[in-house]
Amino acid sequence: MATGNKANKTQATTQDVARFIETVDPLSKREDARVLDQIFREVTGFHPAMWGPTIIGYGRYHYRYDSGRGGDFLATGFSPRKARHSIYIMPGYVDFGDILARLGKHKMGKSCLYVNKLADIDLDVLAELIRAGLRDLEQKWPVEAT
């Protein structure tokens, strides 16, 4: 029987974001991570925070499902992985197909966008997508600054 108190595996940490970005390999991913960090800071107005060992999050929200399970999670963010960047557009409830059609080369997960390199996408469209994702999230759960 579920208790509703199961903690989310991905938690905010005190790890330094700039220090983490400087460890990203290869160099091309590190440079992309610096650009993504700047875009997310500008679009959200939030300072970044590390979530788990490899996710950079901007803003946070508290959720509570009908089951009683709840917790805190990043509002939006990214993880600069070796193969491709994972970009988290939360919570994934709205169809952003019209924006995604203009984004460029990407793959989709449930509420995650995968991009091999930033040169493959239109960064202005990415900024539009981040804003749209935050607006969608704010309609369900209030977003707080980090």
Predicted confidence (pLDDT) per residue in 28-66, tens digit: 999 999 999 999 999 999 999 999 999 999 999 998 888
Dihedral sign of CA atoms 141, 16, 12, 56 in order: positive
What domain range is 72 assigned to? 26-141
Total domains in the chain come to 1
Could you tell me the CATH number of the domain that includes residue 111? 3.90.1150
Domain assignment present for residue 81? The answer is: yes
Quick one: which H or E segment has residue 63? strand 55-64
Domain assignment present for residue 46? The answer is: yes
Domain assignment present for residue 2? The answer is: no
Predicted confidence (pLDDT) per residue in 57-102, tens digit: 999 999 888 888 888 999 999 999 988 999 998 766 678 889 999 9
Predicted confidence (pLDDT) per residue in 11-28, tens digit: 888 999 999 999 999 999
